[in-house]
Amino acid sequence: MVPARCPGPCATLALALLLGCGVAFCLGQNDTEPIVLEGKCLVVCDSNPSSDGAVTSSLGISVRSAGAKVAFSAVRGTNHEPSEMSNTSMTIYFDQVLVNIGNHFDLKASVFQAPRRGIYSFSFHVVKVYNRQTIQVNLMQNDYPVISAFAGDQDVTREAASNGVLLMVEREDRVYLKLERGTLMGGWKYSTFSGFLVFPL
């Protein structure tokens, strides 16, 4: 095991924590960069530690659970339109979860709630079926539209509105899809909504 380049007592405490967890770690390059050690536990040595979901000591060491892995992917498996689509929110609902690491995607509400601050990747692919209307789908963050996608070809039986983005997301932010324009009366089978934590902040 290679010792972490933390100043003074930080290195000793970090090493002791890691020996207790039995994990490997990597090195930072200077005192201004956080030194991240990952495994069953995560130790961050930082002169300006954040208390976001972490236990922080006076030495500037943040210890977090390895639950930093966050990912979800939901799909629409049927063209049956649920009654919820008639409500005023126009949230696009999904009925199957393929991946839900961390359990932060609420299938019933079809909303992802971020467990921690970080950079997240989101993508969606909403299919309209036997529908000549133009649809507009918005990716919403806390009820504000971030990106949109359109599908408006009237000569096809199936067409998709697709887009993707990297977002800075705060803890407990809500991310979901909203039908801003048009209808999904023919259904939206094979539509998907996915996201994952790229790295925490």
DSSP letter at 51? -
Number of structural domains (the chain) is 1
Is 145 a domain residue?
yes
Q: What is the CATH number of the domain that holds 140?
A: 2.60.120.40
pLDDT band at 159 (very low <50, low <70, confident <90, very high): confident
Is 51 a domain residue?
no
Q: What does the pLDDT look like over 41-78, one tens digit per residue? A: 555 555 455 445 454 444 454 445 545 799 999 999 88
Run of H or E including 126:
strand 118-129
Is 6 a domain residue?
no
Is 17 a domain residue?
no
Is 105 a domain residue?
yes
CA dist 51 → 12, 56, 76, 164, 175 (Å) = 21, 6, 38, 30, 23
Is 29 a domain residue?
no
Is 43 a domain residue?
no
Q: What does the pLDDT look like over 4-38, one tens digit per residue? A: 444 454 444 444 444 444 444 444 444 445 555 45
Residue 175 lies in domain: 69-198
Distance CA 95, CA 93 (A): 7
Q: What is the pTM of this model?
A: 0.67
pLDDT for 87 beyond 70: no
Alpha helices, H only, the chain = 9-21
| Amino acid 115: pLDDT | 98
Q: What does the pLDDT look like over 111-152, one tens digit per residue? A: 999 999 999 999 999 988 777 788 899 999 999 999 999 887
Is 26 a domain residue?
no
| Amino acid 145: pLDDT | 96
Across the range 92-101, mean pLDDT stands at: 95
